[in-house]
Amino acid sequence: MSKTMKCPSCEQGTLAPASDIISEIDGHFFVEVGDRCAQCGEEFIGEKEGQKMIEAAKKLGLWGEPIKLGRKLTKTSRGIIFRLPKDLEKSLHIKGNEHIAFSRAGKRIYIDILSA
């Protein structure tokens, strides 16, 4: 007989191993191994897996750095200008001639830096 784990969330379902648990940090998706409740679908990630995700996020510069930087937009006759913070310019090695792609998610704007 294999040991079954009760779901701590709904206390009804049992947890089954899952290797396709997806976490999102600031628009980046991480796939992790953990357990998923057959009843309510709640997902649980092991401490080790969670740590791995944090390490990966750190490498991408998504963790432990202030993600929200306050900046004011500037209105000109040709449109609204957003000035990129200097520290972002440095950490992303942006030269200033790159092409970018915008995507919108609610009130957030994601900027993908494409090659020059």
Q: Which residues bind Zn ion (CB under 5 A)?
A: 7, 9-10, 13, 37, 39-40, 42
Provide CB contacts within 8 A for 66, sequence distance 6+: none
Provide CB contacts within 8 A for 24, sequence distance 6+: 30
Q: What angle do CA 34, 29, 57 make, to 5 degrees?
A: 90
Closest contact distance (angstroms) between CB of 38 and Zn ion is: 8
Given the complex with Zn ion, which of 43 and 49 has the nearer CB atom? 43
Does residue 90 contact residue 61 with C-beta atoms inside 8 Å? no
Given the complex with Zn ion, which of 9 and 23 has the nearer CB atom? 9
Given the complex with Zn ion, which of 41 and 61 has the nearer CB atom? 41
Closest contact distance (angstroms) between CB of 2 and Zn ion is: 18
Closest contact distance (angstroms) between CB of 83 and Zn ion is: 47
